[in-house]
Amino acid sequence: MSIQTNDSYLGNPNVKRDGVEHQFTAKELKEYMKCMQDASYFARTYLKVIHLDRGLVPFNLYPYQEKMFRHFDDNRFSIVLACRQSGKSISSVGYLLWYALFHPEQTIAVLANKGATAREMLSRITLMLENLPFFLQPGCKALNKGSIEFSNNSRIIAAATSGSSIRGMSVNLLFLDEFAFVENANEFYTSTYPVVSSGKTTRVIITSTANGLGNIYHKLWEGSVQETNDFKPFRVDWWDVPGRDAEWKRQTVANTSELQFDQEFGNNFLGTGNTLISGEHLLGLKASNPVMRQESLRLYERPVEGHDYIMTVDVAKGRGQDYSTFNIIDVTARPFKQVAVYQDNMVSPLLFPDIIYKYAKTYNEAYVIIESNDQGGVVCNGLYYDWEYENMFVESQLKANAIGATMTKKVKRIGCSNIKDLVEQNKLTIVDAETIIEMSTFVAKGQSYEASDNNHDDLMMNLVMFGWFAATEMFLNLTDIDFKNMLYTDRLRAIEDDMVPFGIIDDGHKTSSEVDSQGQVWESFPTDMI
């Protein structure tokens, strides 16, 4: 709908300029009030969008888009996981326009991986604005490729995600598009979140398609599902989109691949393919809420009288980079259970023995294994000599400075192999969210495994040390659990299940058996069976 030239913004006949007054009719006032109270009504009634085949068309919201609008309105912190081409971005910008029009004096920041992408989203908002009827437009003070400012003193700005994008601004609503694909997203979010979290009414909307494990988007999504953060999750699956059925999936997979379909349309946080723990098992891991938090310690189960615990320790320098960590694992019964986790990047190696001693004593004099490399030696000596804690691993009583375990290539290789078996055979239950994230980013590099770029593996190395120790004679003596036999039995059972899918039929023939020198059981059959 065009307006008079003298009422338009800089000659744009579809945008009302600042200062133009409008006398509402009774019908217009009624519509205005309905739009103000219901964002989805505003969108489906008055917004127009570009259709690939039909050009400019009314924004006919799908049922899940209606729900998405209500979700945005009902929650301060919203996070959306949506399949590719589901209309999440156009729905989001429609909501942002509604928010700006009907909420005075608000600053809305539209941030994307690249500035060009953010400006493209702002151009979609401009198109929607240009096609609004005169009575719904508040008037425009400024309109350019980077921002829109309205007469109600609300504004929408577009920028790339960087640590300085909105620093110093007072932002009321922060919108992050395709956040799983943002480079240096951790750094950006760390610097940006304080800007919006300081107010009591500020809002954050994050949308994205899944893009691997361990990034900040994946962490925030999992936290929202587990209710460990303030974000409320909203999910759009491929079958929610009208017209997408089993045949559509078949054709899409045929033209791409199953893996690509799962990633882009299946909402699966697939790993890089080279994680130590398989992507299938990583997806099945579910974090739990701690029963107690004490500073840097997260307790998932309190100590139980009579239970046996093993504590594995990794030591950092305490300078705010890598973390000093320990994992406490209950080895009383199978599956083994992760019951407590410590994680702190500022604790001094000189003070760490005090903390280890406290919680090792708490968990029934837990058997302590400390990686003795680098700063680990300081912690080993502090715990063993200063605190006189003797229930800990000692490599050799004959060698000086042999307290703790040295992380060699061989130890790491064995530990990685064993922890993989433990997790994938469900012999070890992992419940800590940070540990699961590290598992998701613990990837092959050369002939070994380590954290992927910009991630940590300190908690994971606790588990690697446990995996190595579980295969030692010392572990068998402590627990009466034959680790190797435990895993072998399960593997053998799985093989037998695959070979005999229909069970055993007793045909009446008798067999005899004997055991050879290697412990293998051989059965002999009557000749009429051959």
Looking at 202, 237, 272, the residue that finishes a domain is 237
Which has the closest alpha carbon to 456: 446, 443, 469? 443
Domain boundary among 220, 237, 254: 237
- The answer to the question of residue 80 being in a domain is yes
* Same-domain check for residues 225 and 326: no
Catalytic residue ranges = 178
Q: Which of 33-47, 116-130, 197-211, 503-517 has the lowest mean pLDDT?
A: 503-517
pLDDT tens sequence across 450-506: 987 778 899 999 999 999 999 888 888 888 877 767 776 665 555 444 444 433 334
- Residue 413 in any domain: the answer is yes
- CATH number of the domain encompassing residue 112: 3.40.50.300
The answer as to whether 280 is a domain residue is: no
Looking at the fold, whether 17 and 162 belong to one and the same domain comes out as yes
The first and second tokens of residue 284, run together, are: 């099945």
What is the spatial distance between Cα 441 and Cα 449, in angstroms, rounded to a whole number?
10
If asked whether residues 224 and 326 sit together in one domain, one would say no
Q: Please answer whether residues 110 and 122 qualify as being in contact, where contact means their C-beta atoms are separated by less than 8 angstroms.
A: yes
Q: Is position 342 within any domain?
A: yes
What does pTM read for this prediction?
A: 0.64
Quickly state the pLDDT bin for 510 (edges 50, 70, 90): very low
Question: Is the same domain home to 107 and 213?
Answer: yes
Tell me, yes or no, whether 54 and 201 share the same domain.
Answer: yes
Q: Are 238 and 265 in contact (CB under 8 A)?
A: yes
Amino acid at 198: S
CB within 8 A of 419, min separation 6: which ones? 276, 428, 463, 464, 466, 467
**Range with the lowest mean pLDDT among 62-71, 177-186, 362-371?**
177-186
CATH number, domain with residue 385: 3.30.420.240
pLDDT score, position 302: 95
Q: How far, in Å, CA of 480 to CA of 30, rounded?
A: 77
305 and 176 share one domain = no
Residue 266 within any structural domain of the chain = no
**Structural Rg of the chain based on CA atoms:** 30
Range of the domain at 394: 292-483
- Do 322 and 192 lie in a common domain? no
- Total domain count, the chain: 2
- Whether residue 224 sits in one domain with residue 308: no
Q: Peptide bond before 335: cis, by omega within 30 degrees of 0?
A: yes
